[in-house]
Amino acid sequence: MPDFGARWTNPQPLEPGGQALTYIVFDSDTLDNTRCVAKILNSPRDDRKARFLREIEVTETFDHPNVVRSLGKGETRKSRFPHFVMPYYELGTLESNYKRLGALMNGFFLGSATESPMRTERA
C-alpha cells in the first residue's frame, strides 16, 4: 500500500482508473478521522506525470459546489509518485451512475479541463 504521509492514513484500494489508482484514506487531522479519497499516479512516464500534475493544479483552482475540491497534495514516501486527496462521496462511480441513470446522463458532455481544447474541422 502506498504511504501518503502522516495525515492520510489506512489506505484501502478502490477501482483503478486510466492514469491513476484511488484509495480510501482517513484524515488524521480531523476529530472523526474523516474518510477521503487519495488519487495517485499509476505510471512513472513523464507525459503522464505532467498531465496528472496539471490535473492537480486545475482541481486546486476550482471553487464550485458541483466540482469535487482538493484537500491536499503530495508525493508518496517510497515511490515519490504525486497524489492528491479529495472528499469521499458515497454516490458510486461515474460508470455505475451512468448504468443507473442511463438516458438522463446522455445530455451531459463530460470533458476534462486538463485536455487541450476540442478542435472543429470544416469541410
| Domains of the chain, each with CATH number or no CATH | 8-89 (3.30.200.20)
Could you tell me the pTM of the whole model?
0.72
pLDDT at 15: 80
Residue with grid cell 497524489, as numbered in its chain:
83
pLDDT at 116: 43
Q: Which distant-in-sequence residues (6+ apart) come within 8 Å of 20 by Cβ?
A: 39, 40, 41, 42, 52
Task: Give the β-pairing of 8-13 and 20-27.
Answer: antiparallel
- pLDDT, averaged per 10 consecutive residues of the chain (123 residues), comes to 92 84 94 93 87 89 83 89 89 71 58 43 43
Helix/strand number for the chain, H first, E second = 3, 5
Query: What letter would DSSP give residue 121?
Result: -
Nearest to 1 by CA among 105, 54, 77, 103: 77
pLDDT at 68: 83
Quick one: cell of 96? 455505475
